[in-house]
Amino acid sequence: MKEKIDSFLAEVAAFEASNPTDIENFRIRFAGRKGILNDLFEDFKQIPNDQKKVMGQELNKLKTAVQEKIDALQSATSTGSASKDPSLDMTRPTGDWGVGTRHPLSTVRREILEIFERIGFTVADGPEIEDDWHVFSGLNFPPEHPARDMQDTFFIEKDPDMVLRTHTSSVQVRAMETRKPPLRIVMPGRVFRNEAISSRAHCQFHQIEGLYIDEGVSFADMKQTLLYFAQEFFGKAKIRLRPSYFPFTEPSAEMDVYWGLNSEADYRITKGTGWLEILGCGMVDPNVLSASGIDPEKYSGFAFGMGIERITMLRYQIDDLRMYFENDVRFLKQFDQLV
Ligand code: DAH
């Protein structure tokens, strides 16, 4: 019996077929009701008990080999035959693909820019790979000053002077160097920080920077501009400015919006205060103006910067930053009404 099985095993291994009829004949010969496998299992009943263990294993080996052969041949011919069928055009589009949806970050960026465009700002941009001057030194970060540690920077290995910008404030410097006041610009862009990825941090995200420079621009102008933004975007009537520190502004502040405490979620989002931190801002430091060739005796201005991910999280109650970057269609589909 062992010899029989071995020769069938060899036959199965060597068998080839390119059309369904040959495969079906093979199946009937081995695995059909009156096929070889059934015959062998009949013979098996007759063999002495002490051989049953070994022979049983051999028999099962053959049975598995037959099944695997059939599966392999069937899957090979089913894909093969489709591409050979001349009536099938595999390059034709399939059914309804849908048009996709705009990413929530894009929608919110557009909305924020539009609000500022309505009051006379225009959009500008700058490079993501920047030199130290535009990211730090030109913004009044002294060399070796700990303020540089506020942002964990990715450096370009081949050129230590080049970095992936850690904030869009670098575009302010470019704008001040190349244009003359009055300046009224908003600068959206991608920024990078060397941070471990978690629900609250990511090594790349997006910001919108704002800059307004003219003669006689005051802190009150800044406050009014930011209030307008908060009212247009959040529909909230109240903001507050808390003292803060940035090397490139003096005085510096953080702007909070009064979100309210009307639901349990509001308590969670605002940590029970009702206030939400939205952006950093301040009066452009005279050192920054003169470093870019603007006379601080004649001109003054304000600047602000906000994170698009954070604001989008608040708007759509998204609680994990990683959702933005995974491109899971189940997440993205929820925003299709915004297209
Ligand atoms: N660049 C700051 C940051 O990345 C945000 C910022 C704060 C921008 C104050 C400004 C500003 O223009 O005036 O966190």
Q: How far apart are CA 15 and CA 65, in angstroms?
A: 11
Rounded to the nearest 5°, which phi and psi values hold at 15? -65, 135
- Angstrom CA distances, 152 to 29, 133, 168, 194, 196, stand at 70, 16, 15, 5, 11
Query: What's residue 94's pLDDT?
Result: 78
| 100, 175 contact by CB (below 8 A) | no
Sequence-distant (6+) residues with CB within 8 A of 231 are 237
Interaxial angle between packed helices 36-46 and 20-31, expressed in degrees from 0 to 180 and rounded to the nearest 10? 10
Q: How far apart are CA 44 and CA 41, in angstroms?
A: 5
| Number of the ligand 1 atom closest to the C-alpha atom of 167 | 4
Query: Could you identify the residue written with the tokens 């989008």?
Result: 312
Q: How far apart are CA 265 and CA 86, in angstroms?
A: 60
Residues with CB under 6 A from ligand 1: 167, 169, 209, 246, 249, 280-282, 303-305
User: Which stretch of DSSP H or E encloses residue 160?
Assistant: none
The domain segmentation of the chain, as residue ranges, is: 2-83, 104-335
Tens digit of each residue's pLDDT (9 = 90 or more) over 35-64:
999 999 888 988 888 888 888 999 999 999
Q: How far apart are CA 258 and CA 227, in angstroms?
A: 11
pLDDT less than 50: residues of the chain: none
Query: What's residue 79's pLDDT?
Result: 60
Q: Which fold has domain 104-335?
A: BirA Bifunctional Protein; domain 2 (3.30.930)
Question: CB-hemisphere CA count at 13 Å for 201?
Answer: 10
In single-letter form, the type of residue at position 3 comes to: E
User: Residue whose CA is closest, atom 8 of ligand 1?
Assistant: 305
> How far, in Å, is the centroid of ligand 1 from the Cα of 304?
6
> How far, in Å, is the centroid of ligand 1 from the Cα of 245?
10
Measured on CA atoms in the order 114, 115, 119, 125, is the torsion positive or negative? negative
Question: CB-hemisphere CA count at 13 Å for 84?
Answer: 8
Query: What's residue 80's pLDDT?
Result: 53
Here the contacts of 289-292 (C-beta below 8 Å, separation 24 or greater) are: 289/176, 289/213, 291/137, 291/138, 291/140, 291/173, 292/138, 292/173, 292/176, 292/177
Mutate to test the pocket of ligand 1, among 116, 139, 151, 169 (most ligand atoms within 8 A of CB): 169
Mutate to test the pocket of ligand 1, among 190, 246, 277, 311 (most ligand atoms within 8 A of CB): 246
Rounded to the nearest 5°, which phi and psi values hold at 337? -70, -10
| 292, 211 contact by CB (below 8 A) | no
> How far, in Å, is the centroid of ligand 1 from the Cα of 170?
10
Query: What's residue 130's pLDDT?
Result: 96
**How many beta carbons lie within 10 A of that of residue 82, not counting itself?**
10
DSSP helix/strand/coil, 69 = helix
Query: What's residue 147's pLDDT?
Result: 56
Query: What's residue 338's pLDDT?
Result: 59
